[in-house]
């Protein structure tokens, strides 16, 4: 049986809302892989992503290899709480203001332009895998409220890499069914949650923060 088509006991399902639920065993298997330096394919608050423990340099190397991407191109990470940011980056007043605009929960409806999840690129990254940080010392971090990725970050107690589940240079897959087989085969675990979900989700907006308090919008 394929490693990403396991079956799980239905009584382990955890209800997050009237329409969103994930399986506890699915989550625990993903966590086991992350803790052991593996990589996963998992649903995020935007498109499906490839992830690993963002403090594990060897695991980060595996993602670069799978995506056939140069390691000079940094990848962003997810956190479950803004309260954890200052351990990894400097959080300025500008960052706090922008974070206050972050949507509070993932929507089951198509995202409006002003409701996209937001990735902030912070200067002076620390306590992360060195090959994850950009040459200028910055790192992109997004606070996720999507239930599965939020639970992964919270229980791992570390940030998780989040990069789109595609070969570098290939189109981003909008749904699970369109993820390239090479990506699925190359991961140590492919999560089950939201595989059937075809709700439109767009990549996040990206804003780069400067040390002097100014910022630049990279992607709206």
Please give the pLDDT value at position 72: 67
Report the C-alpha gap between 66 and 89 in whole angstroms: 27
Q: Is 15 part of any domain?
A: no
Q: Is 6 part of any domain?
A: no
Mean pLDDT of 42-67: 96
pLDDT per residue over 84-120, tens digit each? Answer: 999 999 999 999 999 988 755 334 444 444 568 999 9
Output the average pLDDT for the chain. Answer: 86
The answer, yes or no, to whether residue 203 has pLDDT greater than 90, is no
Closest CA to 193 of 135, 125, 147, 134: 147
Q: Is 11 part of any domain?
A: no
pTM for this predicted structure: 0.83
21 close to 169: Cβ distance less than 8 angstroms: no
Q: Which domain holds residue 159?
A: 20-104+115-219
Number of domains forming the structure of the chain: 1
pLDDT per residue over 16-46, tens digit each? Answer: 343 457 889 999 999 999 999 999 999 999 9
pLDDT per residue over 163-199, tens digit each? Answer: 999 999 999 998 999 999 999 999 999 999 999 988 8
CATH number at residue 77: 3.90.870.10
Q: Is 199 part of any domain?
A: yes
Q: How many CA atoms lie within 13 A of 201 on its CB side?
A: 24
Report the C-alpha gap between 80 and 178 in whole angstroms: 27
pLDDT per residue over 5-19, tens digit each? Answer: 333 333 333 443 434
Q: Is 187 part of any domain?
A: yes
36: tokens are 């052991």
> What is the DSSP pairing of strand 160-164 with strand 49-51?
antiparallel
> What is the DSSP pairing of strand 49-51 with strand 205-209?
unpaired
């Amino acid at each position: 049986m394929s490693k990403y088509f396991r079956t799980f006991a239905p009584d382990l399902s955890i209800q997050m809302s009237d329409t969103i639920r994930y399986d506890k065993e699915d989550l625990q298997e993903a966590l086991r892989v992350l803790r052991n330096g593996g990589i996963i394919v998992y649903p995020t608050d935007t498109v499906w992503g490839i992830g690993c423990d963002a403090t594990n340099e060897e695991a980060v190397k595996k993602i670069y290899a799978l995506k056939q991407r140069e390691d000079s191109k940094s990848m962003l990470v997810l956190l479950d709480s803004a309260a954890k940011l200052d351990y990894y980056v400097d959080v300025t007043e500008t960052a706090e203001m922008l974070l206050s605009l972050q949507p509070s929960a993932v929507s089951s409806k198509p995202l409006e332009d002003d409701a996209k999840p937001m990735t902030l690129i912070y200067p002076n990254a620390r306590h992360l895998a060195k090959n994850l940080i950009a040459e200028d010392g910055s790192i992109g971090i997004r606070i996720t409220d999507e239930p599965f990725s939020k639970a992964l970050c919270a229980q791992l107690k570390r940030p998780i890499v989040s990069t789109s589940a595609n070969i570098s240079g290939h189109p981003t897959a909008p749904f699970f069914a369109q993820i390239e087989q090479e990506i699925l085969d190359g991961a140590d675990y492919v999560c089950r949650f939201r595989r059937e979900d075809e709700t439109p989700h767009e990549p996040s907006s990206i804003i780069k923060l400067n040390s002097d308090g100014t910022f630049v919008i990279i992607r709206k």
